[in-house]
Structure 1
Amino acid sequence: MRVDLFDFELPPERIALRPAEPRDSARLLRVRPDGLADHIVSDLPQLLQPGDVLVFNDTRVIPAQLEGRRGDARIGATLHKREGPRDWRAFVRNAKRVRDGDRIEFGAGVSALAGAKADDGSILLSFEGDEPVEILLERAGRMPLPPYIAARREADARDAEDYQTMFAREKGAVAAPTAALHFTPGLIEALAARGIAHETLTLHVGAGTFLPVKADDTDDHRMHSEWGRIDAATADRLNAARAGGGRIVAVGTTSLRLLESATDEDGIVRPFEGDTAIFITPGYRFRAVDGLLTNFHLPRSTLFMLVSALMGRETMQAAYAHAIAEEYRFYSYGDASLLLP
């Protein structure tokens, strides 16, 4: 499909620079085939049904943004995907000044050797020393805010908490699964009291989620792979819930993509551990999920293509036009939509 079919105009002032407080006070646009309805996130127990299951991503964002030097050249690095105990693939700013074998000094006693560039322009960084890389990043790294926020303000101490979900446990993401930022312990308790369960899986979100689609046709776009895991017990509970008439509602596109990667043609969720580069566009037949709670996405992005696949492109264009007109807040720290096809 033509990528320009997924374009829309977004006023810059609609981009949220901070999350709603409290988190579950964010606005929520319910989208169904019979129309749109304005709510807030704390309305979710009334918008879902007993027996439904919400599926969250429990990945934890690491301080993956690094600033350093190679000689007299300033180098910026955003870690993208772990390749080994001490090796991370990274998108590098000023990459033309970095050659295979160069040492980059990131300060605080943290350094890495650069490897060769990959086809996507990323560079393999091999961190030196004996300390775990996670400890090195805590010392030298910054929280990797999305580029559309980072271009307008610096990351600060608040982001260390604001940009983690209440489920964040498994370290390894370089971007937050932002739909889950709206949830609080009180909301989870209210959902449970209504008979709505929740499960977790792990997908370590990579920086590739923010890369623009440069191709003119979706067939020519290559997705970056991300590592994920669903254990056997979780898969069994999800299958049992669906067999009992419950709906599986993914919280965030990361949860949805991993669920779809792990589900067979018969709609059975299988245990999964490994990389996925699934690219969901209109025409895709969903096997695992019956709904999606997600934030509002970038124009021409793979994520707007995904929600268009779930609900229909015309429906999502109308929903986004409504959200813009009603001054919903967009992107990672913005408001949410509940998509129920």
Structure 2
Amino acid sequence: MSNSPAISIRDLAKSFGKGIHAIRVLDGVSLDIGRREFFTLLGPSGCGKTTLLRLIAGFEAADRGSIAIEGQDVTAAPPFHRPVNTVFQSYALFPHLTVGQNVAFALDEQGMARDAIRKRVGEVLEMVRMSAFAARRPAELSGGQQQRVALARALAPRPRVLLLDEPLSALDLKLRKEMQIELKLLQEEAGITFLFVTHDQEEALMLSDRVAVMQSGRILQMGPPRAIYEAPTHRFVADFIGDINLMDAEALAGGGIRLDGGAVLPLAHGKAGRVTVAIRPERARLVPAGKGAIDATIIHSAYLGSAMLHKLSLPNGGTFLLRQSEAPDLPGGNGATVGLALPPEALQVLDQ
């Protein structure tokens, strides 16, 4: 079906072990991933993201639910009958083969003609900028170069979907940053769906068209990176994605929200009860004492080049992190009392 999603998952569940010792790893996951989309599964270790990827690849069998790729039900299909390929954390290159032979391996197994293999190997090595290294062996390559070869090998058979299980985690920080940009450009050039698994929040926000944040085998929130960052719908999502301030509060029956410590904010909420108020460090502002929603005390300030980072002590004993690109004309230094302005449009109210 030409209009079907690249991947369609319905009510997928998976446990390891049996009886009272069974551990539920996926608990009724459903999602659609569009064609040519860069989609990321994001979450901490043990949340189920890699298990979900392995179920799509066919390396594990689901206890319940269905998996369709471009409209074709592949729930019971073996891995070699699914139009996907996988790039793992370990590059798994054959050490005795050259770069060109590694990339050609799957094509040769498929029985493709030698001239066609040679042409396709040249195309994908050019795509990952490794044409000049075709005669080298993996031991003669850097980590980043090996990663490019692994990507080329996975792309060579023209999969409909490329599954990537934390493929950049073994790289050092600088190289990882470089490869993040290259990976996004490669996905756009290849023109296929990428399903990416990572625990790195910044990586997910940078690369993805959409992100699904997972916890305990469930998808808590799914959407574009900006929506995930700026409008989290769960306390876990807010806390997991980037730096954020979480303040315990009470939603009042008559309207407004009272922070623990006394300040009342003009925010609406559907029902009275305990809530969490969330705000990113860069969205709050320092103002003169008595001019903001709360008076706070500066614990420590640090110059970061492009911004000042302030750690503040709140009246209720909590702390608050504030990042400001411009230094306000206020009394400075540790121990100084300042006002903390909390723009209503920058606040998120989350149920506890």
Query: Normalized against structure 2, the TM-score is what?
Result: 0.26
- Give the structure, 1 or 2, with the largest relative contact order (CA under 8 Å, sep 6 or more): 1
For the pair shown, the structure with the greater C-alpha radius of gyration is 2
- In the superposition, the TM-score normalised over structure 1's length comes to 0.27
